[in-house]
Amino acid sequence: MSVFVANLDLGGNGPRVAIKDTIDVAGVPTRAGSRALDDAAPAAANAVVVERLLAAGYHLVGKANMHELAFGTTGINAWTGTPLNVRFPAFVPGGSSSGSAVAVAAGLADVALGTDTGGSVRIPAACCGLFGLKPTFGRVSRDGVMPAQTSLDCVGPFATDMDALIACMRAIDPSFGALPDTAGVAIGVVEVEAKAEIRAAVEAAVAAGGFATGRVGLSQFVPAYDAGLVVINAETWAACGELVATGRVGEDVARRLLAASKTTAADVHAAEAVRAAFTAQVDAALREFTILALPTMADAPPLLAEAADTSKLVGMTSLVRPFNLSGHPAIAIPLPGPGDFPMSLQLVAAKGHDELLCAVARQIAGRLNQR
């Protein structure tokens, strides 16, 4: 199924965990799903998050496949193969952390680590019917994670249930404390463009949680999406641009990288102004409401048979990428639906309030399971 690029048998007898191939495991090359890194030397040391998982007794079962160089949203990879979305096989698995999501969905791992620069944990979680968390930017160590320099990327866990996800967060983030009480929580539903049945499922899930609700408009949301693309283009070109000259980068990613190379300092400066404005707007909304809610994806995932040109499908991240720009923690929660395609609720909390975000997500998920 092209889920693992390397099988592992490391650690204790605890939960099985898969590690995305941008995260160093000592003795194993970190290739980021790219033939251009085929001759990479084995990692000299474990990433901090890997060390913490091992210390907590987790059992590492594999380095997970991914969208090449973490620069794509579908999870399609012509070199390493594309992991099959086992729960929704007609659809792409989502990227870039495709193998991490599929490993959990297929039961090959109990939890997995991915990275999320523009939705790369939340999108595969949504596509594969899983929980996926992007923590507050900077909260979880990125030492030993590609790329070394980023203002967007976060390491986060996938799981089939909130308890497993929370336990994994506790392992990788020693500061992750007890979950707070959810009494008095109010949820602001963000007004966004999305398929009608997805909006209805989101509304139903928020109502099932039993929280007070209201409406939120974020005028900077679409500009923040565009600005997030500018920043990721500049940072990914800086990190990976030199690989294009090898001629071994996949065509779709090479095309996106060459387009990204045209990003100017003025573009980035303008994007940073949007970052400041959008961050302030989200912070203000989170002073009015404890949590913000919106769909994780605005539409069904692309059909696998129609997703060959991944450069045209970046819009999959229209509702997730803005929160990479702002740095707020965000979680994807699978929603019950007619079964034709996966649907997912996204919750967002104030920075540093990852525990509260998980507490609210667990309450909503629990209520949905009781229906």
Q: Measuring CA to CA, which residue among 78, 73, 91, 80 is closest to residue 128?
A: 91
Q: Burial code of 336-357, b = ≥16 C-beta within 10 A, e = fewer?
A: ebeeebbbbbbbbbbbebbbbb
C-beta separation of 68 from 125 below 8 A: no
Residue the block writes with tokens 């890997």 = 50
The answer to whether residue 20 is catalytic is yes
H helix or E strand, kind and range, residue 346: strand 343-349
C-beta separation of 345 from 202 below 8 A: yes
Q: How far apart are CA 10 and CA 123, in angstroms?
A: 28
C-beta separation of 344 from 334 below 8 A: yes
The active-site residue, picked from 34, 96, 318, 344, is 96
The answer to whether residue 219 is catalytic is no
306 burial via Cβ count (<10 Å: 0-12, 13-18, 19+): exposed
The active-site residue, picked from 100, 120, 318, 344, is 120
C-beta separation of 300 from 91 below 8 A: yes
Q: Residue 103, SS3? A: helix
Residue the block writes with tokens 């929704």 = 88
Calculate the alpha carbon distances from 109 to 36, 72, 78, 100, 129 in Å. Answer: 28, 23, 24, 9, 15
The active-site residue, picked from 20, 63, 134, 351, is 20
Query: Which residue numbers are catalytic?
Result: 20, 96, 120
